[in-house]
Amino acid sequence: MNRVAFVAVASILTQRKVQLQSAGDSRHIHYQLKSREQHLADALSKEYDVIIVGGGATGAGVSLACANRGLKSIVLESQDYASGASSKSTKLVHGGVRYMQQVFQLSEKNRMEKWQLVAEALKERSNFLSMCSYLTQDFPTLIPCTNLFDLGYYYFGSLIYHCVYLYYQTGGHTFKPPRIVGKDEIQQHFKFAKCNYGVIYYDGQFNDARMVQELLVTSSLKGQNMANYVEVKSLLKNQENKIVGVQAYDKIGQKQFQIKGKCVVNATGGWADNLRLMDDPNVSKRIVSVAGSHLTMPQKYGSSYWGYLIPKTNDGRVLYMVPWLGNMIMGTTERKLDNTINDPTVSNEEYMWLLKSFCDEFAIDANEVAKDVKSKWCGVRPLVYQNNALSTKEVSRTHEIEVSKSGLISVMGGKWTIFRLMGEQTVDKVQELIGNNYKRIENLPKLVGDWTQFDNKKEIQVMMNKFDLPQSYAAYFLTTYGDRAYDVLKLVHEKPENKECLHPQFPHTIGEILYQIRYEQARKPEDILFRRTRLGFLDQNAIFNVYEKVFQIMAKELKWPEKFQKEFLKENFEYIRKLEF
Ligand SMILES: Cc1cc2nc3c(=O)[nH]c(=O)nc-3n(C[C@H](O)[C@H](O)[C@H](O)COP(=O)(O)OP(=O)(O)OC[C@H]3O[C@@H](n4cnc5c(N)ncnc54)[C@H](O)[C@@H]3O)c2cc1C
List the residue whose alpha carbon is closest to atom 27 of ligand 1: 269
* CB-based contact 250:99 (threshold 8 Å): no
Query: Smallest Cα–Cα separation from 360: which of 312, 408, 394, 419?
Result: 312
List the residue whose alpha carbon is closest to atom 31 of ligand 1: 56
Residues whose CB falls within 8 Å of the CB of residue 144, separated by 6 or more in sequence, listed in order: 186, 193, 194, 195, 198, 308, 310, 361
Sequence ranges of the chain with CATH classification 3.30.9.10: 97-205+288-394
Query: Best mutation site among 381, 521, 527, 531 for ligand 1, i.e. most ligand atoms within 8 A of its Cβ?
Result: 381
Sequence ranges of the chain with CATH classification 1.10.8.870: 456-577
Q: Quote the ligand 1 centre to 89 CA distance (angstroms).
A: 8
Choice between 297 and 451, residue whose per-residue pLDDT is larger: 297
Omega cis (within 30) before 332 = yes
* CB-based contact 382:413 (threshold 8 Å): yes
CATH superfamily ID and name for 456-577:
Alpha-glycerophosphate oxidase, cap domain (1.10.8.870)
Q: Quote the ligand 1 centre to 194 CA distance (angstroms).
A: 36
Query: Best mutation site among 87, 141, 296, 416 for ligand 1, i.e. most ligand atoms within 8 A of its Cβ?
Result: 416
| pLDDT, tens digit, 9 for 90 and up, residues 378-433 | 999 989 987 555 555 556 678 999 999 999 999 999 999 999 999 999 999 999 99
Residues whose CB falls within 8 Å of the CB of residue 284, separated by 6 or more in sequence, listed in order: none
Give 73's strand partners: 50
Given a cut of 50, whether residue 8 has pLDDT beyond it is no
The pLDDT value recorded for residue 516 is 98
CA distance 464 to 227: 34
Given a cut of 90, whether residue 11 has pLDDT beyond it is no
Fold of 97-205+288-394: D-Amino Acid Oxidase; Chain A, domain 2 (3.30.9)
Backbone angles phi, psi at 26, to 5 degrees: -110, 165
Lowest mean pLDDT among 43-47, 64-68, 461-465: 461-465
Whether ligand 1 lies within 6 angstroms of the CB of 92 is answered as yes
Q: Quote the ligand 1 centre to 69 CA distance (angstroms).
A: 24
Tell me how far CA of residue 355 lies from CA of 301, 352, 370, in angstroms: 12, 5, 7
Q: Quote the ligand 1 centre to 465 CA distance (angstroms).
A: 39
Choice between 390 and 536, residue whose per-residue pLDDT is larger: 536
Number of CB atoms found within 10 A of residue 168's CB: 17
| pLDDT, tens digit, 9 for 90 and up, residues 347-391 | 999 999 999 999 999 999 999 999 999 999 999 998 998 755 555
Query: Smallest Cα–Cα separation from 414: which of 269, 209, 290?
Result: 269
Whether ligand 1 lies within 6 angstroms of the CB of 200 is answered as no
| pLDDT, tens digit, 9 for 90 and up, residues 265-284 | 999 999 999 999 999 999 99
Given a cut of 80, whether residue 62 has pLDDT beyond it is yes
Q: Quote the ligand 1 centre to 95 CA distance (angstroms).
A: 18
The pLDDT value recorded for residue 196 is 95
Q: Quote the ligand 1 centre to 57 CA distance (angstroms).
A: 6
Q: Taking the model in full, what pTM does it have?
A: 0.93
Kindly report the three-state secondary structure assignment for every residue of 138-166.
Answer: EEEEEEEECCHHHHHHHHHHHHHHHHHHH
List the residue whose alpha carbon is closest to atom 49 of ligand 1: 84
CA distance 384 to 465: 51
Q: 31-85+210-281+397-434 has which CATH code?
A: 3.50.50.60
DSSP-assigned letter for residue 423 = H
Whether ligand 1 lies within 6 angstroms of the CB of 215 is answered as no
> Which amino acid is it at 556?
K
Give 381's strand partners: 290
Ligand 1 atom closest to Cα of residue 294: 1
Query: Smallest Cα–Cα separation from 57: which of 346, 312, 376, 422?
Result: 422
Ligand 1 atom closest to Cα of residue 84: 30
| pLDDT, tens digit, 9 for 90 and up, residues 131-165 | 998 999 999 999 999 999 999 999 999 999 999 99
Residues whose CB falls within 8 Å of the CB of residue 355, separated by 6 or more in sequence, listed in order: 295, 366, 369, 370, 373
Lowest mean pLDDT among 111-115, 400-404, 443-447: 443-447
301 pLDDT tier (thresholds 50, 70, 90) = very high
Choice between 333 and 397, residue whose per-residue pLDDT is larger: 333
Instruction: Tell me how far apart the terminal alpha carbons of the chain are, to the nearest angstrom.
Output: 49
The pLDDT value recorded for residue 565 is 79
How high does pLDDT run on average in the chain? 89
Ligand 1 atom closest to Cα of residue 331: 1
Number of CB atoms found within 10 A of residue 433's CB: 18
Sequence ranges of the chain with CATH classification 3.50.50.60: 31-85+210-281+397-434
Whether ligand 1 lies within 6 angstroms of the CB of 357 is answered as no
